[in-house]
Structure 1
Amino acid sequence: MSSPSQESILTAAGRLFGERGYRAVTVRDIAAEAGVSAALVMKLFISKAKLFAAVQPDESLLTELTVPASELGGALVFRVLMRRERGMQEPWAMIPINVHDAPDPDASRNELRERYLGSIAKLIGDATPDRRYASTVTALMTGFGETVRTLGLFDGWDFDELVAYYGGIVQTQIDACTAAHS
């Protein structure tokens, strides 16, 4: 169980890393935002790199989906929009930031690629050697998450209309995967 100090540090770090990126954020910045000392941040998390790793988005957003395969596209889009409405961190939007600003971008790229592609491939049943359908769904969702977060291109759209519209685009790849494996 984490302490209130740990939670405030994780919240502050997640927000600051998400806004500014890894390199632009200092331990002192995180400590000030969390209302604790930099020494406490270091005591609890050992290093800025370990704190960065601790606030990485959780792909459980993929493993906890319990909808029929025919509704997965809409469910993925729905979750992005719900996180936006609740002001929560967006894992899909964080992928590019987490790679580019990681202490070791190549290792981060490989780890995130395997984590997301593996989760999506399992979710949609993609058994192709190159995981082509999982790759396309991952690309669509990463772009959508980043677009919603950064550019606000879908601001003003009706929530349900956007779920149906963009969810349908994602669903075409999921359906293509199902058809290819039938």
Structure 2
Amino acid sequence: MTKTSSPERTAPVDESQLRPAGRATRAAIEAAARTLFAERGFEAASVRAIATEAGVDPALVIRHFGSKEALFLRTLDTSAGVGAVLDGPLETVGRRLVAYFLDPERPAVRHRYLALAQAAHRDQVREEMVRYTAETYVARLAPRMEGADREVRAVLVVAQINGLLNLLFQQEDPIVSGADTATLVALYGDAIQGVLTP
């Protein structure tokens, strides 16, 4: 896959130095971006479209956030509570993790996964995904695991979850999509558990 960087990546303004009007502009840009990224996806939501939706000049989008990728990451909700699942008993993380991602009460999981998948070829987004994996998964799981290759195994848990979400949300595989949730939780959860506690 080709690595792609945004040509419009600059140092953003310091948020703490903004006056009330600047903070209002920044909030309007963020709200517009959140809406357009959700509706159109990363690629189709252009900086110009975000600026139009926010009622500002396109240059202000880059001035406030530094790049489209940085704005995208700012609007992406990663506080969905997976940390609480990972912090629970290690012996049952596999099934609880799959149940978390398949929970119909969390529709944002699908949107977040598809948005990240579409933008993952961008350097800044990919770097953030690597950082998030290290902080959210490796730091929580590896110290509690036994045996060799603990960090590698913790990252492979992320790979397994990504594989499941890819089948469900990108490929929309009819076999997986049509399977009973309890069956998926048991089968796939135990496969993940085998990596965590072999």
The residue that corresponds to 2:46 in the other structure is 26
Unaligned runs of 5+ in 1: 177-182
Deviation at 1:175, TM superposition (A): 1.1
Aligned length: 165
Given candidates 109, 116, 136, the residue that maps to 2:133 is 116
**1:161 equivalenced with 2:183 (yes/no):** yes
**Residue 58 of structure 1: SS of its match in structure 2?**
coil
* TM-superposition CA deviations, 1:51-76 (whole Å, max 9, x none): 21212342664322243112211121
For the aligned residue pairs, the C-alpha RMSD in angstroms reads 3.4
Q: Percent identity?
A: 20
Matched to 1:74, the amino acid is: R
Give the 5 Å matches for 1:1-182. Answer: 5=28, 8-16=31-39, 19=41, 21-22=42-43, 24-30=44-50, 36-39=54-57, 42=61, 45=65, 47-58=67-78, 61-65=81-85, 66-82=87-103, 86-90=106-110, 91-100=112-121, 102=122, 105=123, 107-124=124-141, 125-126=144-145, 131-153=151-173, 154-176=176-198
Q: 1: distance between equivalents of 2:182 and 2:33?
A: 32
Equivalent position amino acid for 1:144 in 2: L
- Whether the aligned pair in 1 keeps the contact of 2:145 and 2:197 (CA below 8 Å) is no
For the structure 1 residues 134 and 94, does the alpha-carbon distance in structure 2 shift closer, same or farther, using more than 3 Å as the test?
A: farther
| TM-score (ref. length: structure 1) | 0.68
Structure 2 segments unaligned to the other structure (5+ residues)? 1-22
SS at match of 1:64: helix
Distance verdict in 2 for CA 1:8–1:94, change over 3 Å? closer
Q: Distance in 2 between matches of 1:149 and 1:6?
A: 28
Assess, with a 3 A threshold, how the Cα gap between structure 1 residues 87 and 28 changes in structure 2: closer, same or farther: farther
Say if 1:137 and 1:29 are closer, same or farther in 2 by CA, change over 3 A. Answer: same
What TM-score does the superposition give when structure 2 sets the normalisation length?
A: 0.64
Contact 2:30 2:71 in 1 (8 A): no
Shift of the 108–45 alpha-carbon distance from structure 1 to 2, 3 Å rule, reads: closer
CA offset at residue 81 of structure 1?
Answer: 1.3
CA separation in 2, counterparts of 1:39 and 1:113? 32
The structure-2 alpha-carbon separation of the partners of 1:140 and 1:68, relative to structure 1 and needing over 3 Å to count, comes to: same
Hey, what's the Cα distance between the residues in 2 that align with 1:75 and 1:47?
36
Cα–Cα, structure 1 residues 161 and 149, in superposed 2: closer, same or farther, change >3 Å?
same
Secondary structure of 1:25's counterpart equals coil
1:133 Cα deviation from its structure 2 partner: 0.5
- Distance in 1 separating the partners of 2:29 and 2:45: 18
Kindly name which structure, 1 or 2, has the bigger radius of gyration based on alpha carbons.
2
Match of 1:131, SS state, is helix
Q: Distance in 2 between matches of 1:36 and 1:80?
A: 32
